[in-house]
Structure 1
Amino acid sequence: MLVPFLIMLREGIEAALIVGIIASYLKQTGRGQWMPAVWIGVFLAAALALLVGGGLELMSAEFPQKQQELFEGIVGLVAVGILSSMVFWMRKVARSIKHSLHVSLDHALAGSKHQVTALIAMVFFAVAREGLETVFFLLAVFQQSEGAAAPIGALLGLILAIIVGFLIYTGSMRLNLSAFFRWTGLFILVVAAGILSNSVQALHEAGVWNHLQTVLFDFSATLPMDGPLGSVLAGMFGYQDAPTVSTLGAYLIYLVVALVMFFLPAAAPVKQSSSVSSQ
C-alpha cells in the first residue's frame, strides 16, 4: 500500500502544482476567464490516463500465462524507464518549471485565433505526462501485488495530493517542495530497481530471457516472499527470496548507476539570450 500511496501522492502533487501555477498566473494577469479551458484540459488528460490504464489491464487479462508474463515484463521495463526519467526530469527543471509554464501560457494565448484550443492542448499535455507516468507505474505494481491494498493506497495518495495541492494554491500550507521531490525521488529509484528485477524474472518465465539463471542464495525458509515481512519487502523494494544472477544483477547495477547520477550535482540550466534578431 505504501508504494502506490507515495507515488500517487508525488505525481498528484506534481500535477496539482502545474495546474496551480497556471491558475495563479491567469488570475494575476487578469485572465481568469480562461480557467474553464484549463479544467477541460485537466479532465481530458485524466480521461486519457484512465482509458489507457483500463485498456491495458483488460487486454492483459485475456492473455495466456506466458503472454501475460511477457506483458508484465514489458510494462515493468516501461515503468522503470518512465519513473527514472520522471525523477531526473523534475530534478533538472524544478527551479524553472514556473517560468516555463508562464512562457507556454503566454504563447498559447498570444494569438487572436484558436486560443481556447491552444490553452486546452497546453494543459492537456502538461497533465497527461503525469497521468501516463502514473498509469504505467501502477500497472507494474498491481501486477506484482495481490488484494485491494495497492489500489486503496493509490486512491488515498491521490486524495491527499488533491488536498495538499489545494492548500498550497490557497496559501494555507507551505511545503518544502525541493526536499519533498528529492526524498520521494530517491525512494522511487529504489522501487524502480525492484520493478526492474521483477521484470527480468517475468521475462524469464515468459521464455524470453534464459541467461544467468543461477540462484545465488535461498532465503525462502527464513524470509519467504509470501510471509508477512517478505510480502512487505517484495511489495516495496522487489525483494526475492531466491534471486538469480540476472535478477539481483539488474537490481544492483540499476541502483548503483541511478544513485550515482541522482547524487551528482545538477547541471545548471542553460540561459537563453533574450535578444531577437530583426529580419
Structure 2
Amino acid sequence: MNVQSFLITFREAFEAILIVGIIMTYLKRIGQTQWNKWVWVGVVLALAASYGVALVFQTVLTGFATMGSQNYLKIGIMLVSCVLLSHMVLFMGQQSRSMQGKLENKISAILTVGGVLNMIVHSFLVVVREGVETVFFFAAITGGDIQKALQSWGALIGLVAALIVGYLFFRGTRKIQLKTFFRITSVFLMMIAGGLLVQAVGIMQDIGIMGTIYKTAGGEVGEIYNLTAIMPEHPLDETQHIRDTGEQPLISGQVGIFFKAFLGYTQNPSVEEFVLYWAFYLVIIIMQGLQKKRYEKLHAVQSITGA
C-alpha cells in the first residue's frame, strides 16, 4: 500500500506542480508577479475542496457503493481543464509572437479583464482535479479508508519527491529564453490537455454516456489495437496479462499508469478515443497557424502605416 500511495501521490502532485509552476514562471518571466497571489488563492481553495471531498467520502458516503458518482465529477473537471489548458496554449503562443512590442503592458491589459477570476479558476481546477483523483485512488487501494493512505510514508515521500522534481525542472528553465520557454511549456500543456480529453471520452464510454461506431460481437466498445503486451496502462492490467499469457509485458504497468495520468495513454483505445486525441492536436495546430498568420498580417499593416 505504501508503494501505491507513493506512486499515486507523486504523479498527481507532480502534474499539479508542473502546471501551476508553468503559470507562475510565465507570470514571472513577463514581469506580472502581482498575479501570483491569485494563483495561490486557487491552489488553497482546491486543497480545501479536495480535503472536503476526502472528509465526505470517509465519513458520509459508503465507500465503493458510491464510487460510481465520481465519474461524473471527473468528466466535468477533465473537460473544463482541457478547455482552459488549450486556451492557455493559444494565449502563450500569441504572446510569444508579440514580444517585440511592450509585452508587459499588453499582457497586463489582457489579465486585468477578468484576470483575478482567470488565475483562480486555472489554478483551482488544476489542483482540485489532482486532489479529487488522489482521494478516489486512495479509496480504491485501501477499501475506503482514505486516512490510512494519507498517513502512510508512501504519500509523504511521493509529495516530497514531486516537489523536488518540480523544483529541479523549473530551476532548469531559468536559463531558457522567453520565446523558447513558451514553446516548451506549450507542448507540455497541449499534451496534458489532449490526455484529459481522451480520458474523459474513455470514462464516458465506460459508463454508457457516449456510444461508439465500432462494437465487438458482444456489444462492447471495440478497440482498434491493443498494446497491453508492450505497456499496460495500469498494474492491474499487467497482472491480468501475466495471468492470461504467462508472459511479462515489455514495459511495467507502473510506467503505463504514469503515462496515462500525464498524457492519456490508452493500451486499447476505441475509435473515438483515437480520432479525438489526434483531432485535438490538429485543431490546436491549425488555430496556432491562424494566430500566426493574423499576427503577421497585423505586423505588416503596422509596418506600412508606421504604427
Please state whether the residue corresponding to 1:209 is helix, strand or coil.
coil
User: In 2 relative to 1, CA 10–45 (structure 1 residues): closer, same or farther, beyond 3 Å?
Assistant: closer
Question: 1:12 offset after TM fit, Å?
Answer: 1.8
Question: 1:71 offset after TM fit, Å?
Answer: 1.0
Q: Percent identity?
A: 18
Q: Distance in 1 between matches of 2:209 and 2:258?
A: 28
Q: Is the 8 A contact 1:225 1:241 kept in 2?
A: yes
In the alignment, what sits opposite 1:238?
264
Give the aligned CA root-mean-square deviation in angstroms: 4.0
In the alignment, what sits opposite 1:258?
284
The one-letter amino acid paired with 2:125 is F
Alignment of 1:26-105 (within 5 A): 42-43=36-37, 45-52=39-46, 54-55=48-49, 58-59=52-53, 62=57, 64-94=66-96, 96=98, 99=102, 101-102=104-105
Alignment pair present for 1:223 and 2:231: yes
In the alignment, what sits opposite 1:249?
275
User: In 2 relative to 1, CA 7–161 (structure 1 residues): closer, same or farther, beyond 3 Å?
Assistant: same
Please state whether the residue corresponding to 1:189 is helix, strand or coil.
helix
Per-residue deviation, residues 226-264 of structure 1 (Å, max 9, x unmatched):
213322321332111121112222212112222343356
Q: Distance in 2 between matches of 1:161 and 1:132?
A: 24
Q: Distance in 2 between matches of 1:181 and 1:217?
A: 34
The one of 8, 15, 39 aligned to 2:20: 8
Q: Is the 8 A contact 1:8 1:158 kept in 2?
A: no
Q: Distance in 2 between matches of 1:102 and 1:243?
A: 45
Q: Which runs of 5+ in 2 are unaligned?
A: 1-10, 139-154, 214-220, 235-252, 303-307
Question: 1:3 offset after TM fit, Å?
Answer: 4.1
Q: Distance in 2 between matches of 1:237 and 1:150?
A: 20
Q: Distance in 2 between matches of 1:162 and 1:6?
A: 9
Question: 1:163 offset after TM fit, Å?
Answer: 6.8
TM normalised by structure 1 equals: 0.65
User: In 2 relative to 1, CA 177–128 (structure 1 residues): closer, same or farther, beyond 3 Å?
Assistant: farther
Q: Is the 8 A contact 2:198 2:264 kept in 1?
A: yes
Question: 1:186 offset after TM fit, Å?
Answer: 1.6
Q: Is the 8 A contact 1:140 1:195 kept in 2?
A: no
TM normalised by structure 2 equals: 0.60
Per-residue deviation, residues 54-78 of structure 1 (Å, max 9, x unmatched):
3266348647323210110111111
Q: Distance in 1 between matches of 2:117 and 2:160?
A: 22
Please state whether the residue corresponding to 2:261 is helix, strand or coil.
helix
Aligned pair count reads 233
In the alignment, what sits opposite 2:197?
196
Q: Distance in 2 between matches of 1:80 and 1:157?
A: 24
Q: Distance in 2 between matches of 1:249 and 1:142?
A: 29
Please state whether the residue corresponding to 2:295 is helix, strand or coil.
coil
In the alignment, what sits opposite 1:26?
none
Per-residue deviation, residues 130-189 of structure 1 (Å, max 9, x unmatched):
443233234445566757488557645775698789xxxxxxx65401101112102221
In the alignment, what sits opposite 2:177?
176
